């Protein structure tokens, strides 16, 4: 029963405070899943995030479903998904009504603009932690080369991120095991 309550609290907090959707809630989910409750390691969270990005649909619900199942089985899936979906759905309805009413207010404009740097820092910190995990596992040069190729593929070649992630999975499965790495 404690796991169910923890799932409710963890996913409710991460998603109720995740202004900006999935990208903003991912660092908050990381905080709850890895740092606070220790349901996963950095490496496991990185894998969930990567795989979740290759599948269709919102990333937050996929992370919640997997974590809920790992923590408390089928009941955990239901609870984690509800705690992920309900706060944002309710907040969306309420906030859209408020924003429509006060959309010309300088206070509302200031609030929405000034929260963006905070979200950017959250994403930067998560990127740093995931990059460190990658470097610790496969080394700095291989990590940098893979990151550079991914950047080139997505920015210059305009390849969808899901295909880039899929290629990284294939490379990781076929090539990385032949290196002396800390997997």
CB 77: neighbour CB atoms within 10 A?
Answer: 19
Q: At what angle do helices 161-174 and 42-54 cross, to 10 degrees?
A: 130
Contact 15, 87 (CB under 8 A): yes
Q: Which of 158, 112, 87, 106 shows the shortest CA–CA distance to 20?
A: 112
CA 30 from centre of chain:
7
Lookup: tokens for 149: 């190729």
Q: What is the pLDDT of residue 152?
A: 98
Contact 166, 54 (CB under 8 A): yes
Region of 159 on the Ramachandran plot (φ > 0 left; ψ -120 to 50 alpha; else beta): beta
d(Cα 183, Cα 176) in Å, to the nearest integer? 9
**Which residues, given as ranges, of the chain have pLDDT below 70?**
19-22, 180-183
């Amino acid at each position: 029963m404690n796991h169910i309550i923890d799932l409710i609290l963890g996913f409710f907090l991460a998603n109720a405070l995740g202004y900006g959707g999935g990208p903003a809630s991912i660092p908050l989910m990381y905080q709850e899943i890895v740092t606070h409750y220790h349901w996963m390691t950095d490496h496991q969270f990185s894998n969930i995030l990567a795989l979740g990005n290759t599948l269709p649909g919102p990333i937050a619900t996929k992370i919640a479903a997997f974590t809920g199942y790992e923590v408390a089985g089928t009941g955990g899936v239901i609870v984690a998904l509800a705690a992920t979906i309900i706060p944002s759905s309710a907040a969306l309805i309420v906030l859209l009504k408020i924003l429509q009413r006060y959309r010309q207010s300088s206070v509302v404009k200031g609030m929405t603009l000034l929260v963006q740097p905070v979200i950017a820092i959250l994403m930067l910190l998560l990127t740093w932690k995931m990059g460190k995990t990658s470097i610790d596992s496969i080394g700095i040069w291989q990590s940098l080369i893979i990151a550079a190729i991914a950047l080139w593929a997505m920015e210059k070649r305009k390849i969808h991120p899901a295909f880039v992630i899929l290629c990284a999975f294939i490379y990781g499965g076929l090539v990385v095991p032949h290196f002396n790495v800390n997997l």
